[in-house]
Amino acid sequence: MPEDQEWRLNRIHDAMNAAGMDGLLCYGAGWRRENVRYLTAAPLRGSFALGFVPADGNITAFVTTDQDQRAIRQQGRVDDIRPLLLPGCDEVAARIQEGGVPEVLGVAHLELMPTVLLGALERALPATHIVSATRLMDLVRLVKSDWELERIRRAGEVCAAGWLAFVDAMKPGAYEYQIIANVEATIKSLGAEDNFMLIAAGGKEIMGMTPPTSHRLEVGDMVRTEMTPQLDGYYAQICRTAVLGQPSADQIRSFEIMKESLEAGLAALHAGVLACEVAKAENDVFRKHGYGEYTSSKYTRVRGHGHGLHPDEAPPLLESDDTVIEENAVIIVHPNTYMPLAGYHVLGDPVRVTASGCELLLNTERKLFVAEA
């Protein structure tokens, strides 16, 4: 059994006991598989997958394809692998009841479960109270094992290489999608399985980032990206901005404020801090410089977030979020926002939270990069 499997199960069981759950069912849709992958470590390809964690006993995985069965078996974390027979799911209900009918069954990503699946479970388990366990699993996954951290550190190295490829591709007349193609070729050659990535090139008119467009770079463009490669299931993210040609005074000033905000957020991070305290430290920098209104949802989304098996995990760094950030959580601090100085600006570094601060997981210099025009 892999070295951290018992550690993972202990975290899950502790959370289940604290929540009064007799069983936990992790639902994995095609686009949100992180909880089932946390149980199995397997790269799943089927449309659906389920993982069941009883109060006592072994995990059971339910999958729709032979390929997924082989992938789970190869990882060696789960031995009990069964076919998921849609739409009735009788075999799932039968497994849940093997140790007795649970009073409370938590379902991670209950909110995403199709009505046909949830209805089948409710009919098969009329005496069971089914509740959401999405938040429970978000907090379980927040703290990373050494095995997980090793993979995120590797993803951080790929981030750094991808960013160099990004800047190298910035030429006058280049299309946004050409820059992305250069990045993809680089990070895939280094083993990246996936990459969530946004980009935006232009001036003060840029309000946010999108998938690549047919915009052609011009001298003076500020080019922003959020790049998130995945290795062995785990993501790391880099947020950086570069200018094609020499930056203007406003672009430099915008970067200086972003850097000060990022470093204030990093300085606030340590085990036991609340997510809202980190967000406030970042936002206070903008307020100090007279840009407080640009900390609102009109101009920005979050001041950072957790990540691991999903590129955008809990907690969101918001002044309204009181999640306690534990030691060995992985957080990216990124005070990305629009400001009228130079338009939307991004800057962010992923870190491992320590007892007294944080460990950087990225070695890319924290500066406003310049690409030769």
CATH of domain 146-371: 3.90.230.10
Q: For 223-257, what is each residue's pLDDT tens digit?
A: 999 999 999 999 999 999 999 999 999 999 999 99
Q: For 251-293, what is each residue's pLDDT tens digit?
A: 999 999 999 999 999 999 999 999 999 999 999 999 999 999 9
> Residue 309: pLDDT band by 50, 70, 90 thresholds?
very high
Instruction: Name beta bridge partners: 226.
Output: 198, 239
**Which 3 state secondary structure label does DSSP give 107?**
strand
Taking the alpha carbons of 72, 77, 80, 86 in that order, is the dihedral positive or negative?
A: negative
88: phi then psi, degrees, rounded to nearest 5: -70, -35
Cis status of the peptide bond prior to 87, with omega within 30 of 0 = yes
Taking the alpha carbons of 281, 203, 367, 198 in that order, is the dihedral positive or negative?
A: positive
The answer on pLDDT for 1 being more than 70 is no
CA proximity to 203, closest of 248, 260, 253: 248
pLDDT of 86 reads: 75
Taking the alpha carbons of 144, 150, 155, 156 in that order, is the dihedral positive or negative?
A: positive
Residue type, 300: T
Q: How many CA atoms lie within 13 A of 359 on its CB side?
A: 14
pLDDT of 112 reads: 94
> Residue 338: pLDDT band by 50, 70, 90 thresholds?
very high
Gap between the Cα atoms of 45 and 358, Å rounded: 35
Angle ∠(338,292,271) on CA atoms, nearest 5: 90
Mean pLDDT rounded to a whole number for the chain: 95
Q: For 292-308, what is each residue's pLDDT tens digit?
A: 999 999 999 999 999 89
Establish whether domains 5-141 and 146-371 are of one fold.
no
Gap between the Cα atoms of 204 and 364, Å rounded: 25
Share in percent of the chain as helix, strand, coil (round to 5): 35, 25, 40
Domain parsing of the chain, residue ranges: 5-141, 146-371
Other C-beta atoms within 10 Å of 60: how many?
A: 22
The answer on pLDDT for 195 being more than 80 is yes
Q: Which fold has domain 5-141?
A: Creatine Amidinohydrolase; Chain A, domain 1 (3.40.350)
